[in-house]
Amino acid sequence: MALPCDLPAPRSWDARGASPNGATCSRYAGQVPSLLVGALVNAKAVAVAVSLLLKQGNLSVTVIACGERWKILSEDGELRFAVEDYLGAGAILSYLEQEKSPEARVCEGAFVRVRDDLDTILWECASGRELREMGFGVDVQHAARLNAYETVPHMRDNHFEPFDIKSCKSPCQNRLEGAHQGASSTLQRHTNQQDLI
């Protein structure tokens, strides 16, 4: 969800928002101990939150580049690769110091390679062109603003609230203790081919 440049991040986000595929991933991910939403605009903040959560228990992280749904189904299927999602995932990964899978390393490398050219990449990619044609050029420019926000949307009771880094110690621990062991594999079964493990 792109916000106009002069507006602050909202206090709460509805999980049924304007991103049908992101909302689908969020719905399936409801079984995980913590679900955070990140993009280029908040990549570093998400990495900080993830690092704090990892200190709370023996967990792994799945970073998902959600992709997009075609307006009209194509022979390639319903979902399509979204470079802006992939680069957002790579940006988050670039701020994490933990060991990464080969897939995560490639994604991180893609981001690192183009990080100084995000404006042009997002402006010229398929999504950027489509949004510009619909009159949303300002949103495309905004989406390319690396680390513009320190807010990290965190799923709670079917809606997103800002992740509270300062109080992570006890609330995070409580959420993690009640987590299901199979949550990560459930999430993997229900997401598309651009998933990163």
Every domain of the chain and the residues it spans: 13-161+184-196
Q: What integer best gives the mean pLDDT of the chain? A: 76
Using CA atoms, how far apart are residues 5 and 139, in angstroms rounded to an integer? Answer: 8
What's the pLDDT score for residue 71? 65
Q: Where are the beta strands (DSSP E) in the chain?
A: 13-14, 63-64, 68-74, 77-80, 153-156, 159-162, 195-196
8 A C-beta contact, residue 114 and residue 121: yes
Whole-model pTM: value is 0.74
What CATH class has 13-161+184-196? alpha beta
Using CA atoms, how far apart are residues 77 and 93, in angstroms rounded to an integer? Answer: 28
127 pLDDT above the threshold of 60: yes
What's the pLDDT score for residue 19? 60
Residue range 82-107: mean pLDDT, rounded: 96
Name 44's Cβ contacts closer than 8 Å, sequence gap at least 6.
91, 95, 147
Using CA atoms, how far apart are residues 144 and 108, in angstroms rounded to an integer? Answer: 16
33 pLDDT above the threshold of 60: yes
What's the pLDDT score for residue 178? 39
What's the pLDDT score for residue 80? 76
Residue range 146-166: mean pLDDT, rounded: 87
Q: Summarize pLDDT for 6-23 with one digit per residue, the tens.
A: 334 444 434 334 566 667
Residue range 99-124: mean pLDDT, rounded: 97
Run of H or E residues at 139: helix 137-143
On the 0-12 / 13-18 / 19+ scale of CB atoms within 10 A, 6 is: exposed
Using CA atoms, how far apart are residues 77 and 91, in angstroms rounded to an integer? Answer: 27
Q: How far is CA 79 from CA 16, 25, 107, 135, 159, in A?
A: 18, 12, 19, 23, 24
What's the pLDDT score for residue 30? 66
